């Protein structure tokens, strides 16, 4: 049509007007480190595998998960999940049930028989792993994946270390453990059981190993001198729990007292209940708040009828009774003795006061530094002796399966670098995705799903697993509660809320880009990004 | 050119009367122009309407100030408005009443008007009888046709039919025709009486 | 087909024959009968494919017409007086956007004091709003001008105002020749808009134009109206050929061939003037009249020609530019630029004051005798205004002028409603 | 919510789209091929709520009508920033006539389309609060009363922003504008609570009346789509924030709009044939201070010390809305 001059205009002609010149600061996309990832001792990319789970692709999720941790089914049961403690969602309603989803994925993998990808290229190097506990298995897995030939020497009759000889069945069914160990071995890892190494250097030479990873754990129960009658029955927790794996179960009697405040103490007390003890009493010198054991475990124990004597120390162990001295906390929070005593009927006393490491195999290895009974290692997990690395309970650290798995991975990566004659440099971590960076409005309310728990009667009488797993629907639900803190999950908000259409949508999986020709720098995209994956940076003027 | 001025009150169909008159003239091949005394008078207020008849196009737009004929739809106006203003000597006067000019006190004023130029007719009564409403305009047009011979009663009937429909049209036509006969008779009598008077 | 009918009815039928697609109606005297007639036609189905919209104001009436026209529909409305002023903003908009809307203005005075009777103040107040303004001398011409108006508007893509005197024409029963639908269809092609709102070819109409282009836009509006000066006579000729009658054009001269005195006027008063001129001619007075059929665009050359041989010009107009005098006269003077011809404005018929032959003849005679001032107010009651002015001089709180005048004239309170 | 909620916990129904949702439950704005009816390059201020609301609404309408849409625009910010010669940002057939006649112009367009038998082409009229609640009110009411087939969208930023932030009849009580300065014994607007046109529209018993904010895109799009499914006069009143006129940071435009709803000051609902049929419940009820504080136009309510009486009166207004429209679920508090 012949359009009247000036008063009638062709559509979209304003594209000629580049309003980007108005801008004084510009939005940029970034990735921030989510608190769950930051908090995981095993260094799992939690948000990464949750993202696949959200999409219902559980195998992909499992594969991402197992890049860092080969034992998801185990971890999904025994991990004390610092990731959930750190989870930003806790400030909205409740933390995402990461641990339960991990367990779901682990169980799903076992159920469906998912296997790790076969190793393609081989390095020709041999690595000795001492100890088939969490650290050893984790290291073996990662080393094997890196193409090295791995041999595990385990002193015990079975693989698993503390996972088998420390953690009771009702927390970790053995078939689960066996399945995940088998899957690691399937990578071609050699496992020698009942193979105790006395002199490490000799063993290395004999086996032509290029490097060693030590993960013998801490299996010697700490003793303390308690005045005791001749016939007093006193055991230590480690050997007691280990003996649970044997043929004939230990005799404790009807009244059992456990001395200590760690998770092991709880494991013993709960196990005693299941063995038929009518009274299972924990004696601990501090208060519940000070107790190192995990509160969830204490809760379960109390539910099962375990009793706790707070602020108490054992002064004397007799044949059928023990004497307890009451304590009070001083202003600094340290327990101080009082003159108040109490006598408890007890058929046996189990000491759960921590464990020591058996360092005998290190004799004759030069350059090692032992402090408070543990081996000192460099940040790359290498001991003072080149090529000998160590991790798990035998190095200074919190003694959990998760930490052990983490050590295994870290050590493996550094051993790999060392074998290749390089040194590993960790990529700098992204800035933290803290809660204040989020716009939680966009997340709808969805409280955490509770895992089913076994009814009390059976918990007190049998060793069936106490905590059940999630089924597929609530696992999906739980996964989808993830806020994807700090990382774009393609919610299209920035694309939608830009008043200047200055956000370009790149398509599924490709995220977005800014069109700085038109972006006026209003900052709406930053304010309305749910997960804090955009920030404003000043323009150079 | 022949100019008619119609006096009446709002609601008596004064303007319609002028319009029908112009239609009747048009139907007989004349040029005609009808228009009201433009205003917004409401029911009951004095109203004037005009009608010009000619054999050629009418261009004049001024109000009619020297009418050749007057139609008075409401005799009570005689004492309010100067209805006779500008009336041509020996013009026509038709008044809606059953009384005579003398009864109305106009005997003196109309002395000298030709007998055929004066007539009264009870148009409102006729309207009430035939139409059922006191709208004397159509009846008066019938009377005017009889008095002036400018338009035929049939043209008036046709004009009424153009303005009204069905029963209303029929009633008005009936009223017009009766009024026509009434006036024709009255004028013949008056003229007869006039002749008689000369004969003496 | 010949008919004896009311002017408003005749216009309604003419508009109906032009196949309008959208008609906006808002009542105001004396225009009302026109839209009433059209409304009836649409309701009865006699006028098909037409939307008849009862709007809530004249402002809305013109706005609805703007929307309809921009969407490619042939749009029509009618108004008068205060109504025209109430749509003033939309009038400028319609012409500014170049929308070919046709509107009847039943000319009427503008208050205060409120007055429903005829004069040209309303149309004249909008003479510069960018619309083409045509003035009808009688009902036949009013009818014919509407048919021409649609063609003119749509060819130029400009709105056209057809002005006819309120009551004097709108309410007058006269003989008119109403053309057949075939005749009108042959003369007026279907509306093909210059620009249209259409999803198939989107445009933005009504952009904000700044100093960088506004001058040009206004110039083009002016240039378009200048084009109309050529088109209007051409279509008047075509109209004569098709319908066998004179109608429209720019100016009409009557007995001006040897006239020393030429009267200039617009609208229905031309009829009375012609009768007056015939009488004076009969007495040998060399006088004629020029009727302005198109006031906007101002037919400068045509008027200059028509008045070429005049010794004196008397502009008889029904409008007053307060503080200046005759509006038409002022335009006529520009047409006589550089000539010595005397131009007298005679302001007449304001607010429906009758314009009689006697008064006209008196005014013309005075003009010939050189006794007319530049501005003369026909039949003005000097006694009354002098007394009112005197009182205002003496008394501070002299009260409202209108009421004072009525008192003086002895009419008591106003009868207007 | 009036629309079908999507059970998706990570982002619920509130984000624009999500890679895990089927396209049909994502917002029109999530579509890579959305029409961008109001295109880039317009001259609206940074973070302009009206520019955002207009694209949201018109894109949704385009989507609902398969792009068979014509819009009439009242004078105002939207018109000025979108079509300064020689550029227009509109991708649709669009006309600007006057400040006060958008509704009437739209009526004309609708009439033309009806005559031409183009029932597939739909008409929208749009304007700001000035062009709607003040100068255009007569035409708007006329359009309603005739039930013309037009959707009128009012983008309400509560003052005459185009002319420099003067008070309109939609300006809320106590707000500072250039003609209701924050000085004297009772600073800010002192004209009651503003003219509430949605209720007036409902009083015309037109088939559809709804309110929405730029903070709830899905709700807004749902209402536009619903409106386009109905014939006759429809009215949509969209709350759009104005960083310039209200004095809040440009990035807060959506947040402020969200607070207007969450305080109850701006009820979000829809009405059929003059009766409220659904309301958008308040998710996390907040006191009006949270809404007032971020805006400089209300700064005088907090300086030097909070004017509790005035704030209380505003809170009372919010509470009245909450009662009247049932904006809070019983038991949710």
- How far apart, in whole angstroms, are the C-alpha atoms of residue D98 and residue D121? 23
Contacts of C374 (CB under 8 A, 6+ apart): C325, C343, C344, C345
Q: Which residues of C touch B31 (CB under 8 A)?
A: 175
Of C196, C203, C216, the CB nearest to A5: C216
Residues D72-125 pLDDT 10s: 999 999 999 999 999 999 999 999 999 999 999 999 999 999 999 999 999 999
The mean pLDDT of C279-288, rounded to a whole number, is: 98
Give how far B64 is from chain C: nearest CA, Å.
10
Does residue A89 lie in a domain region? yes
| pLDDT computed for residue D3 by the predictor | 41
Query: Which is it for strands B2-9 and B46-54: parallel, antiparallel or unpaired?
Result: antiparallel
Q: Is the pLDDT of residue D5 over 80?
A: no
- How far apart, in whole angstroms, are the C-alpha atoms of residue D143 and residue D149? 9
Contacts of B131 (CB under 8 A, 6+ apart): B138, B168, B171, B172, B175
Q: Is the pLDDT of residue B39 over 80?
A: no
Asked whether residue A507 falls in the same domain as residue A468, the answer is: no
How many other C-beta atoms are found inside a 10 Å radius of the C-beta of residue D293? Answer: 15
Of B18, B42, B59, the CB nearest to C272: B59
- How far apart, in whole angstroms, are the C-alpha atoms of residue A396 and residue A378? 11
Q: Residue holding tokens 């959930």? A: A84
CB C167 within 8 A of CB C352: yes
Q: Does C317 touch chain B (CB under 8 A)?
A: no
- How far apart, in whole angstroms, are the C-alpha atoms of residue A83 and residue A98? 7
| pLDDT computed for residue D13 by the predictor | 61
Confidence of residue B38 (pLDDT cuts 50, 70, 90): low
CB A256 within 8 A of CB A280: yes
CB B142 within 8 A of CB B175: yes
Does residue D201 lie in a domain region? yes
- How far apart, in whole angstroms, are the C-alpha atoms of residue D181 and residue D167? 10
The mean pLDDT of A109-115, rounded to a whole number, is: 96
Does residue A4 lie in a domain region? no
DSSP annotation of C164 reads E
| pLDDT computed for residue D24 by the predictor | 79
Of D26, D36, D254, the CB nearest to A524: D254
A62: nearest Cα among A95, A119, A118, A107: A107
| pLDDT computed for residue D7 by the predictor | 41
CB D169 within 8 A of CB D177: no
The mean pLDDT of D142-150, rounded to a whole number, is: 98
Q: Is the pLDDT of residue A407 over 50?
A: yes
Asked whether residue A466 falls in the same domain as residue A498, the answer is: no
Report the neighbours of D using a cutoff of 3 or more CB pairs below 8 angstroms: A, C
How many other C-beta atoms are found inside a 10 Å radius of the C-beta of residue C127? Answer: 18
Secondary structure of residue B47 in the 3-state scheme: strand
Which of B200 and D227 is assigned the larger pLDDT? D227
Q: Is the pLDDT of residue C317 over 50?
A: yes
Q: Both tokens of residue D122?
A: 């739909």
Does residue A530 lie in a domain region? yes
The mean pLDDT of A501-514, rounded to a whole number, is: 95
Q: Does A118 touch chain C (CB under 8 A)?
A: no
| pLDDT computed for residue A8 by the predictor | 87
Does residue D16 lie in a domain region? no
Report the neighbours of C using a cutoff of 3 or more CB pairs below 8 angstroms: A, B, D
* Phi, psi torsion values for B110, nearest 5 degrees: -95, 5
Confidence of residue D58 (pLDDT cuts 50, 70, 90): very high
Q: Both tokens of residue A130?
A: 């001492």
| pLDDT computed for residue A206 by the predictor | 93
The mean pLDDT of C242-266, rounded to a whole number, is: 96
- How far apart, in whole angstroms, are the C-alpha atoms of residue A488 and residue A491? 8
Which of C65, C71, C75 would you mutate first to test chain D, the one with the most D CBs within 10 A? C71
Confidence of residue C190 (pLDDT cuts 50, 70, 90): very high
Helix segments in A95-232, DSSP class H: 98-112, 134-145, 162-165, 174-185, 200-207
Of C67, C207, C212, the CB nearest to D107: C67
Instruction: Verify whether the Cβ–Cβ distance A444 to D14 is below 8 Å.
Output: yes
Rg value, chain D, Cα: 19
Which of D73, D88, D112 would you mutate first to test chain C, the one with the most C CBs within 10 A? D112
C118: nearest Cα among C166, C170, C164, C84: C166
pTM of the model: 0.91
Asked whether residue A371 falls in the same domain as residue A321, the answer is: no
Mean confidence (pLDDT) of chain C: 95
Do at least 3 CB pairs under 8 Å connect D with C? yes
| pLDDT computed for residue D2 by the predictor | 39
- How far apart, in whole angstroms, are the C-alpha atoms of residue A215 and residue A217? 6
Asked whether residue A42 falls in the same domain as residue A96, the answer is: yes
Q: Residue holding tokens 């110039």? A: C219
Instruction: Verify whether the Cβ–Cβ distance C203 to A9 is below 8 Å.
Output: yes
Q: Is the pLDDT of residue D8 over 50?
A: no
What CATH number should be reported for the domain whose range is C2-243?
Answer: 3.40.50.970
Percentage of chain B modeled with pLDDT above 90: 77
Contacts of B185 (CB under 8 A, 6+ apart): none
- Minimal-distance CA residue of chain D relative to C208: D84
Q: Both tokens of residue D273?
A: 């044939």
How many structural domains does chain A have?
4
Q: Both tokens of residue A5?
A: 């001059």
Fold of C251-377: Rossmann fold (3.40.50)
Contacts of C322 (CB under 8 A, 6+ apart): none
D227: nearest Cα among D216, D218, D235, D219: D235
Instruction: Verify whether the Cβ–Cβ distance A9 to C204 is below 8 Å.
Output: yes
Which of B197 and D60 is assigned the larger pLDDT? D60
Q: Does A446 touch chain D (CB under 8 A)?
A: yes
C302: nearest Cα among C332, C267, C280, C262: C332
Instruction: Verify whether the Cβ–Cβ distance D44 to A13 is below 8 Å.
Output: no
- How far apart, in whole angstroms, are the C-alpha atoms of residue D169 and residue D191? 8
The domain limits of chain B are 2-199
CATH of the domain at A465: 1.10.1060.10
| pLDDT computed for residue D272 by the predictor | 97
Does residue A452 lie in a domain region? no
Report the neighbours of A using a cutoff of 3 or more CB pairs below 8 angstroms: C, D
Give CA angle at A68 (A62, A70), nearest 5°: 65
How many structural domains does chain D have?
1
The mean pLDDT of A259-288, rounded to a whole number, is: 92
- Please report, to the nearest 10 degrees, the dihedral formed by the alpha carbons of residues A125, A131, A135, A136 taken in order: 30
**Helix pair angle (D102-115, C58-70), 10° resolution:** 50
CATH of the domain at D239: 3.40.50.970
How many interchain CB pairs under 8 A, B with C?
76
| pLDDT computed for residue A57 by the predictor | 93
Cis peptide before D86 (omega within 30 of 0): yes
Least confident span in A97-101, C409-413, D107-111, D209-213:
C409-413
Confidence of residue A12 (pLDDT cuts 50, 70, 90): confident
Give how far C175 is from chain B: nearest CA, Å.
7
Q: Which residues of C touch D94 (CB under 8 A)?
A: 197, 202-205
Of D10, D252, D253, the CB nearest to A443: D10
CB C64 within 8 A of CB C25: no
Instruction: Verify whether the Cβ–Cβ distance D46 to A528 is below 8 Å.
Output: no
CB C185 within 8 A of CB C243: no
B127: nearest Cα among B184, B81, B182, B69: B182
Residues B75-115 pLDDT 10s: 999 988 889 999 988 899 999 999 999 999 998 888 888 88
Confidence of residue B67 (pLDDT cuts 50, 70, 90): very high
* Phi, psi torsion values for A280, nearest 5 degrees: -130, 105
Instruction: Verify whether the Cβ–Cβ distance A524 to D47 is below 8 Å.
Output: yes
Instruction: Verify whether the Cβ–Cβ distance D9 to A480 is below 8 Å.
Output: yes
CATH architecture of B2-199: 3-Layer(aba) Sandwich (3.40)
Q: Which residues of B touch C6 (CB under 8 A)?
A: 19
Q: Which residues of C touch B18 (CB under 8 A)?
A: 173
Of C173, C271, C416, the CB nearest to B60: C271
Of C195, C202, C214, the CB nearest to A4: C195
Confidence of residue C243 (pLDDT cuts 50, 70, 90): very high
The sheet with strand C160-165 has its strands ordered as C51-54, C22-25, C75-79, C102-107, C160-165, C132-135, C294-296
Percent of chain B as helix, strand, coil, to the nearest 5: 45, 20, 35
The domain limits of chain C are 2-243, 251-377, 391-417
Does residue D12 lie in a domain region? no
CATH of the domain at A259: 3.50.50.60
Contacts of A65 (CB under 8 A, 6+ apart): A44, A45, A49, A72, A102, A105
Which of A1, A4, A9, A10 would you mutate first to test chain C, the one with the most C CBs within 10 A? A4
Residue D206's domain comprises: 24-325
Does residue A81 lie in a domain region? yes
DSSP annotation of A371 reads E
Percentage of chain B modeled with pLDDT above 70: 96
Cis peptide before C30 (omega within 30 of 0): yes
Q: What is the ipTM of this complex?
A: 0.89
How many other C-beta atoms are found inside a 10 Å radius of the C-beta of residue A387? Answer: 16
The mean pLDDT of A332-355, rounded to a whole number, is: 91
Of C194, C202, C206, the CB nearest to A11: C202
Mean confidence (pLDDT) of chain A: 92
The mean pLDDT of D134-157, rounded to a whole number, is: 98
| pLDDT computed for residue A478 by the predictor | 86
H/E run at residue B36: strand B31-36
| pLDDT computed for residue C414 by the predictor | 42
Report the neighbours of B using a cutoff of 3 or more CB pairs below 8 angstroms: C
Residue A502's domain comprises: 18-31+488-538
What is D81-138 written as a DSSP string? HH-BTT---B-S-EEE--SS-HHHHHHHHHHHHHHTT-TTSEEEEEEEHIIIIITTHH
- Minimal-distance CA residue of chain C relative to B58: C271
DSSP annotation of D299 reads G
Distances (CA, A) of D145 to B155, C38, D200, D205, D237: 47, 22, 11, 8, 18
Secondary structure of residue C43 in the 3-state scheme: helix
Percentage of chain D modeled with pLDDT above 90: 86
Cis peptide before C123 (omega within 30 of 0): no
CB A486 within 8 A of CB A31: yes
| pLDDT computed for residue D10 by the predictor | 57
Confidence of residue A230 (pLDDT cuts 50, 70, 90): confident
Q: Which residues of A touch C206 (CB under 8 A)?
A: 7-8
Among A283, A311, A345, residue at a domain's last position = A345
Of D10, D43, D90, the CB nearest to A11: D90
Q: Which residues of A touch C159 (CB under 8 A)?
A: none
């Amino acid at each position: 049509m012949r359009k009247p001059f000036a008063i009638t205009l062709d559509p979209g002609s304003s594209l000629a007007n580049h309003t980007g010149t108005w801008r004084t600061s510009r939005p940029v996309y970034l990735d921030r480190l989510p608190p769950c990832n930051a908090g995981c001792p095993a260094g799992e990319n939690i948000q990464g595998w949750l993202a696949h789970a959200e999409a219902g692709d559980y195998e992909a999720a499992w594969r991402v998960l197992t890049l860092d941790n080969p034992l998801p089914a185990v971890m999904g049961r025994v991990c004390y999940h610092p990731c959930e403690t750190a989870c930003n969602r806790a400030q909205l309603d409740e933390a995402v049930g990461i641990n339960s989803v991990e367990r779901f994925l682990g169980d799903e993998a076992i159920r469906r028989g998912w296997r790790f990808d076969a190793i393609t290229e081989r390095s020709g190097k041999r690595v000795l792993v001492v100890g088939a506990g969490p650290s050893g298995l984790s290291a073996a897995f990662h080393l094997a994946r890196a193409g090295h030939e791995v041999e595990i020497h385990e002193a015990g009759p079975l693989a698993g270390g503390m996972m088998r000889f420390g953690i009771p069945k009702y927390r970790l069914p053995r078939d689960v453990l066996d399945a995940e160990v088998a899957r690691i071995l399937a990578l071609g890892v050699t496992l020698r059981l009942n193979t105790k190494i006395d002199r490490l250097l000799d063993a290395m030479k004999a086996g032509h190993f290029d490097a060693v990873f030590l993960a013998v754990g801490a299996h010697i129960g700490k003793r303390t001198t308690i005045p005791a009658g001749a016939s007093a029955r006193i055991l230590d927790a480690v050997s007691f729990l280990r003996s649970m794996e044997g043929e004939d179960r230990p005799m404790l009697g009807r009244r059992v007292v456990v001395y200590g405040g760690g998770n092991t103490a709880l494991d013993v007390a709960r196990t005693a209940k299941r063995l038929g003890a009518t009274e299972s009493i924990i004696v601990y010198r501090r208060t519940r708040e000070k107790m190192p054991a995990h509160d969830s475990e204490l809760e379960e124990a109390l539910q099962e009828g375990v009793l706790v004597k707070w602020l108490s120390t054992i002064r004397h162990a007799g044949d059928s009774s023990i004497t307890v001295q009451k304590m009070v906390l001083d202003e600094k929070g340290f327990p101080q003795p009082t003159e108040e005593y109490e006598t408890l009927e007890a058929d046996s006393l189990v000491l759960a006061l921590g464990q020591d490491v058996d360092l005998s195999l290190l004799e004759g290895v030069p350059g090692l530094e032992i402090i408070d009974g543990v081996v000192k290692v460099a940040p790359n997990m290498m001991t003072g002796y080149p090529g000998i690395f160590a991790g798990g309970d035998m190095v200074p650290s919190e003694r959990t399966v998760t930490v052990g798995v983490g050590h295994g991975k870290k050590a493996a990566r550094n051993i790999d670098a060392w074998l290749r004659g390089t040194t590993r440099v960790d990529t700098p971590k992204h800035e933290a995705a803290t809660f204040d960076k989020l716009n939680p409005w966009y997340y709808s309310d969805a409280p955490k799903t509770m895992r089913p728990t076994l009814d009390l009667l059976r918990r007190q009488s049998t060793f069936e697993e106490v905590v059940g797993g999630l089924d597929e629907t609530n696992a999906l639900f739980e996964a989808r509660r993830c806020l994807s803190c700090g990382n774009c999950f393609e919610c299209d908000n920035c694309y939608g809320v830009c008043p200047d259409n200055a956000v370009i949508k790149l398509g599924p999986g490709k995220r977005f880009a800014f069109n700085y020709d038109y972006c006026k720098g209003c900052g709406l995209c930053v304010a309305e990004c749910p997960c804090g994956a955009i920030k404003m940076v000043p323009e150079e003027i | 050119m022949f100019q008619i001025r119609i006096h009446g009150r709002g609601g008596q169909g004064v303007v319609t009367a002028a319009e029908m008159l112009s239609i009747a003239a048009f139907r007989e091949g004349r040029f005609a122009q009808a228009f009201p005394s433009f205003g917004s008078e409401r029911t009951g207020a004095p109203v004037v309407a005009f009608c010009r008849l000619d054999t050629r196009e009418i261009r004049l737009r001024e109000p009619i100030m020297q009418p050749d004929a007057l139609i008075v739809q409401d005799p009570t106006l005689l004492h309010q408005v100067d209805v006779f203003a500008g009336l041509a000597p020996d013009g026509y006067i038709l008044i809606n009443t059953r009384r005579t000019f003398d009864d109305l006190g106009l005997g003196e004023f109309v002395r000298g008007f030709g007998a055929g130029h004066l007539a009264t007719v009870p148009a409102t009564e006729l309207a009430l009888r035939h139409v059922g409403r006191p709208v004397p305009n159509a009846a008066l047009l019938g009377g005017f046709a009889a008095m002036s011979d400018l338009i035929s009663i049939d043209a008036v009937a046709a004009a009424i039919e153009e303005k009204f429909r069905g029963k209303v049209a029929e009633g008005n036509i009936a009223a017009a025709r009766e009024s026509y006969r009434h006036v024709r008779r009255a004028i013949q009598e008056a003229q007869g009486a006039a002749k008689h008077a000369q004969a003496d | 087909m010949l008919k004896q009918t009311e002017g408003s009815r005749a216009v309604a039928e003419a508009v109906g024959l032009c196949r309008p697609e959208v008609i906006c109606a808002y009542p105001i005297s004396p225009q009302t009968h026109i839209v009433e007639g059209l409304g009836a036609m649409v309701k009865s189905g006699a006028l098909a494919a037409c939307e008849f919209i009862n709007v809530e104001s004249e402002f809305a009436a013109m706005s609805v017409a703007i929307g309809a026209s921009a969407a490619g529909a042939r749009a029509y409305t009618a108004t008068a007086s205060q109504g025209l002023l109430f749509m003033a903003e939309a009038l400028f908009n319609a012409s500014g956007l170049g929308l070919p809307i046709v509107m009847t203005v039943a000319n009427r005075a503008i208050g205060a004091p409120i007055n429903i009777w005829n004069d040209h103040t309303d149309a004249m107040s909008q003479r510069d709003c960018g619309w083409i303004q045509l003035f009808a001398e009688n009902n036949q011409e009013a009818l014919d001008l509407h048919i021409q108006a649609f063609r003119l508007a749509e060819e130029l893509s400009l709105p056209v105002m057809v002005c006819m005197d309120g009551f004097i024409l709108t309410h007058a029963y006269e003989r008119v020749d109403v053309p057949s639908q075939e005749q009108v269809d042959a003369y007026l092609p279907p509306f093909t808009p210059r620009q249209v709102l259409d999803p198939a070819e989107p445009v933005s109409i009504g952009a904000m134009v700044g100093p960088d282009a506004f001058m040009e836009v206004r110039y083009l509006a002016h240039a378009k109206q200048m084009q109309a000066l050529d088109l209007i006579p051409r279509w008047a000729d075509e109209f004569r050929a098709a319908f066998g009658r004179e109608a429209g054009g720019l100016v009409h001269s009557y007995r001006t061939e040897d006239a020393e005195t030429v009267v200039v006027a617009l609208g229905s008063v031309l009829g009375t003037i012609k009768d007056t001129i015939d009488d004076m001619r009969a007495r040998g007075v060399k006088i004629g009249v020029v009727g302005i059929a198109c006031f906007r665009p101002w037919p400068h050359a045509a008027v200059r020609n028509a008045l070429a041989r005049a010794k004196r010009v008397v502009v008889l107009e029904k409008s007053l530019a307060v503080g200046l005098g005759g509006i038409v006269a002022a335009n006529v003077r520009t047409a006589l630029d550089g000539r010595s011809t005397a131009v007298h404005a005679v302001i007449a018929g304001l607010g429906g004051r009758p314009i009689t032959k006697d008064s006209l003849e008196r005014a013309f005679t005075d003009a010939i005798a050189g006794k007319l001032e530049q501005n003369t107010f026909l039949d003005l009651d000097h006694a009354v205004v002098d007394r009112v002015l005197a009182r205002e001089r003496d008394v501070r709180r002299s009260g409202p002028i209108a009421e004072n005048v009525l008192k003086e004239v002895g009419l008591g309170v106003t009868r207007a409603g | 919510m009036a629309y079908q909620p999507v059970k998706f916990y990570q982002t619920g129904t509130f984000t624009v789209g999500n890679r895990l949702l089927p396209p049909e439950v994502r917002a029109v704005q999530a579509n890579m091929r959305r029409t961008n009816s109001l295109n880039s390059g317009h001259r609206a201020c940074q973070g302009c709520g009206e520019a955002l609301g207009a694209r949201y609404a018109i894109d949704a309408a385009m989507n609902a009508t398969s792009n068979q849409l014509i819009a009439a625009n009242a004078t105002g910010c939207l018109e000025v920033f979108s079509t300064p010669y020689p550029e227009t940002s509109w991708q649709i057939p669009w006309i600007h006539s006057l400040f006060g006649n958008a509704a009437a112009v739209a009526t004309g367009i609708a009439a033309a389309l009806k005559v031409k038998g183009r029932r597939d082409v739909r008409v929208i009229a749009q304007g700001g609060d000035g062009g709607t609640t003040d100068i255009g009110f007569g035409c708007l009411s006329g359009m309603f009363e005739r039930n013309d087939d037009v959707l009128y969208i009012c983008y309400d930023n509560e003052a005459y922003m185009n002319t420099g932030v003067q008070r309109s009849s939609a300006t809320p009580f106590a707000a500072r504008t250039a003609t209701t300065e924050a000085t004297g014994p009772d600073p800010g607007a002192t004209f009651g609570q503003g003219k509430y046109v949605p209720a007036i529209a409902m009083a015309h018993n037109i088939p559809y009346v709804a309110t929405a904010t730029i903070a709830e895109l899905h709700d807004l799009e749902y209402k536009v789509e619903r409106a386009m499914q109905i014939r006759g006069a429809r009215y949509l009143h969209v709350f759009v924030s104005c960083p310039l006129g209200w004095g809040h940071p440009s990035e807060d435009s959506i947040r402020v709009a969200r607070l207007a709803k969450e305080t109850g000051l701006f009820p979000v609902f829809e009405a059929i044939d003059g009766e409220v049929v659904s309301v958008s419940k308040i998710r996390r009820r907040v006191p009006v201070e949270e809404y007032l504080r971020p805006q400089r136009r209300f700064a005088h309510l907090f300086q030097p010390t909070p004017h509790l009486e005035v704030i209380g009166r505003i809170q009372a207004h919010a509470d009245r809305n909450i009662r009247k429209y049932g904006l809070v679920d019983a038991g949710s508090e």
